[in-house]
Amino acid sequence: MVRVTNLEKSLEFYCHQLGLVEVRRVDNEKGRFTLVFLAATGDEHNAKTQRGPTVELTYNWDPEEYTGGRNFGHLAYRVDDIYAVCERIMNSGTKINRPPRDGHMAFIRSPDGISIELLQRGDALPPQEPWLSMENSGTW
């Protein structure tokens, strides 16, 4: 579970930039929160039957400040082409904190500061520019 402060901004990040798919949503008026369950592409069917892995975004309707985005570790996703995913994410306005210089691993942060590791599925891709020359930025 990841607490988010802006549900629309978070869904833009997790769904449109990372490529996750919303599989279920629960609005609880009495508790004043919304839960949104997201699955990786290919896991949608199993996630909809609650037999597959999901990430739960928890949005509390009353404003709260959350700190320490890495206090639980980080999320990690395998991707088919780490360079294409990082380019799409970067072109959408999200900073690549640890570029995939090795063709294998990159780190980014969600709008709420959650650290997310991207891992190349299978063998590392051959190193290539512009990633090879990019420096780390911020924390990851």
> Catalytic amino acids?
117
Q: How far apart are CA 103 and CA 134, in angstroms?
A: 12
Q: How far apart are CA 12 and CA 17, in angstroms?
A: 7
Length of the chain: 140
CA dihedral 104, 12, 45, 53 (to 10 degrees): 60
Find residue 17's DSSP bridge partners. Answer: none
Q: Look at phi and psi of residue 68 and say left if phi exceeds 0, alpha if psi is from -120 to 50, else beta.
A: left
